[in-house]
Amino acid sequence: MYPLARELFRVADIPRRLIPATIALGIFTFTMTALPGSPQVQNIIPGQFFGTGSFAGPGIGLLGGALIFGFGLLWLEYRRTVLIRKGETFDSPESARVIGGSSDDGAGNQVTTLEPANRLIPFLPLLTVFAVNFACTLLIFPALDWSYLEDEKFGGVGFDERAGLWAVLLGIIAGVLLLLALNARNFATLWTGCVDGAKRSMLPIFSTASEVGYGAVVASVAAFAVVRDSVFGLGVGALWTSVFSVSITAGLTGSSSGGMTIALNALGDDLRTMAEQEGISMEAMHRLTAMAAGGLDTLPHSGAVVTLLIVCGLTHRQSYKDLGVVTLVVPVIVVVALVGLVSVVGAF
């Protein structure tokens, strides 16, 4: 996204230092955890523990997503106005790249204009993922009998714990197949993309696997029982306990998916039992737990934050203030407000 954002900011003469926060608002917040149906892993993990799908808590997610997006955008517009009033521009020293040197004026770049009929094509794979996920979650899977999976010869699989993951996987597979079909004439490019994609997938796969293993080790030590009893001894209910434990773990690890995986692997069964005893909707548990993971995960030491700043060629001093407001302060406030609202009116 950085090359696109850089050019847009250059043309609009918006201070470059706001680019990381703008990108982060789009990828680290509401699209990652709040929007129902999102194929992001942060929206899939809770379903493995609460027996829910990726469309869980649609009302909570849509309201939370709108609030996070709205307040985040208001902050960025406010900061843009303040910086411009101070005389800061795209090429001001305060916003200059710390690597790469030049300001990239975009001269000589060719722009290809798509015909109106072709403007939808780039969005078809994404729309396919959403459509297949939606159809499987709400229409196809519920209409089928999956009870046979509980038989030992099939692994004793609980379908409710797998349905959300399977629906997203089928959606992604459908999207990939459509991409292959749309670009069948460019076999060499497709092959290169598949090879590069396979290579680059190793890091997130092993990173997530190591976090799961780390969480299992932590949960097995005697000291963890003391921590678990302390968390559940707060007496604040399942929703607050889940939000609190996931938020803290995500902050410590600097990873929303890693923190949520560790916390739910260790506490997921107990949280589900507590929620059932309190009559709390599992869909509310899913949505608010996912949203809670997308708050403290963007503390300054977060690997995603560091990577984004490196890509944009900026420093924490230049850009973290705005990035922290839109990805940390706003989401945390919204989640706290939503937990309070759901505690009063229930899931929606």
How high is the pLDDT of residue 278?
Answer: 92
Handedness of CA 13, 19, 22, 23 (dihedral sign): positive
pLDDT the model gives residue 98: 66
Q: Residue 86: CB partners within 8 Å, gap ≥ 6?
A: none
Question: In the prediction, which pLDDT does 335 show?
Answer: 97
CA quadruple 331, 334, 336, 342: dihedral sign: negative
Instruction: Give every residue of the chain whose pLDDT is below 70, as ranges.
Output: 97-117, 207-208, 211-212, 214-216, 218-219, 224, 228
pLDDT of residue 175: 93
- pLDDT at site 116: 62
Count of structural domains, the chain: 1
pLDDT at res. 99:
53
112 located within any domain:
no
Query: Residue 336: how many CB atoms within 10 A of its CB?
Result: 16
What is the extent of the structural domain holding 39? 2-105+117-345
pLDDT at 211: 65
**Tokens coding 318:** 């230049």
- Residue 101 confidence (pLDDT): 40
Helices marked H in the chain — which ranges? Answer: 2-12, 19-27, 30-33, 41-50, 58-85, 124-135, 159-182, 187-220, 222-232, 237-253, 256-278, 282-293, 303-312, 316-324, 330-345
Does residue 110 lie in a domain region? no
Place of tokens 């932590």: 218
Question: For residue 300, is it within any domain?
Answer: yes
pLDDT, tens digit, 9 for 90 and up, residues 244-301: 989 988 888 788 888 888 888 888 888 999 999 999 999 999 999 999 999 999 999 8
The torsion defined by the Cα of 302, 303, 306 and 311, in degrees rounded to 10, comes to -140
Residue 111 belongs to some domain of the structure: no
Q: Packing angle between helix 282-293 and helix 256-278, nearest 10 degrees?
A: 150
Provide the 8-state DSSP code for 326. I
Closest CA to 283 of 244, 245, 338, 230: 338
At 65 the pLDDT is 96
Burial class (CB in 10 A: 0-12, 13-18, 19+), 334: buried
Query: CA-to-CA distance for 262 and 253, rounded, in angstroms?
Result: 9
